[in-house]
Amino acid sequence: MRRVANLILLIVALAIMPESASAQFDLSKALGTLLGGSSKSTTTTTTNDPYKKLADAAPAASTLNGTWAYSSATFTYVGNNPLADVVVAQLDPIIADVMRQMGVTPGSAEVSLQSGVGVVSHGDSEIRGKYAYQRSTAGITVSTTYEGKSVSVSGYVKYASNTLTVLLDVKQLVKAIKTVYPELKSDQNIVLIESLLKDISGVYAVGKFKRK
């Protein structure tokens, strides 16, 4: 995909696209079974609510400021079903291969954040965007305009040991890809991911960045 490394939303989104359709199909079947086909499975009022844990550990807004070097990308399920976590973790080796094929390696991309403004750089390319962060929930919304097309994706952030972890909603990432590259609406990977996520919520693309 041309210039995809310029846009962090698309970089992370592509990381969830396995090379084989069979891998996606198996994951879809497994998650569908584990979650009972219900998109409400990640909503809970118990003390084990993972979203409450994110909120309780939310970093201060000032902590996000600075320059961060790309470290890794993964694919995760945020919910209360540990079996779903095991299934999703099986995709990690594939994600690593896809990122290497794209030339996105640890330290090769940087994200600079400062009071709501973000700049992503990869090689000689650069793109600017904005982000809105709400500490009470650890929620973040990232938006940018790419080739005249505006995209926005929401998610959550975590911070520990000089590492910023960004979780972005996979459904919204797929929508962003289709907005920027409408020719990919019929792409096999896109179609399979949309099918996978049709009745599932709480699935996120995860990017980790080390403070420089």
Percentage of the chain lying above the pLDDT 90 cut: 34
Question: Domains of the chain: which residue ranges?
Answer: 4-211
Q: Does the pLDDT of residue 6 top 60, yes or no?
A: no
Which backbone phi and psi does 81 adopt, to 5 degrees?
Answer: -110, 100
99: helix, strand or coil: helix
Question: Mean pLDDT, to the nearest integer, of 35-60?
Answer: 69
- Asked whether residue 27 carries a pLDDT value surpassing 60, the answer given is no
- Better-scored residue on pLDDT, 10 or 48: 48
Tell me, what's the pLDDT at 196?
63
For the stretch 87-138, pLDDT in tens is 566 556 656 665 666 677 888 989 999 999 999 888 888 889 999 999 999 9
Q: What CA–CA distance (Å, rounded) separates 136 from 188?
A: 38
Looking at residue 151, what is its pLDDT? Answer: 93
pLDDT of residue 83: 63
User: Residue 44, SS3?
Assistant: coil
**Mean pLDDT on 37-65:** 75
pLDDT at 3 exceeding the cut of 50: no
Q: Would you place residue 156 in the very low, low, confident or very high pLDDT band (cuts 50, 70, 90)?
A: very high
Give the CATH class of 4-211. Answer: mainly beta
CB 153 within 8 A of CB 142: yes
pLDDT over 50 at 25, yes or no = no
User: pLDDT for 194-206, tens place per residue?
Assistant: 776 666 678 888 9
The answer to whether the CB of 110 falls within 8 A of the CB of 11 is: no
Residue 173 has pLDDT above 80, yes or no: yes
Tell me the C-alpha distance between 139 and 78, whole Å.
14
What global pTM score does this model have?
Answer: 0.74
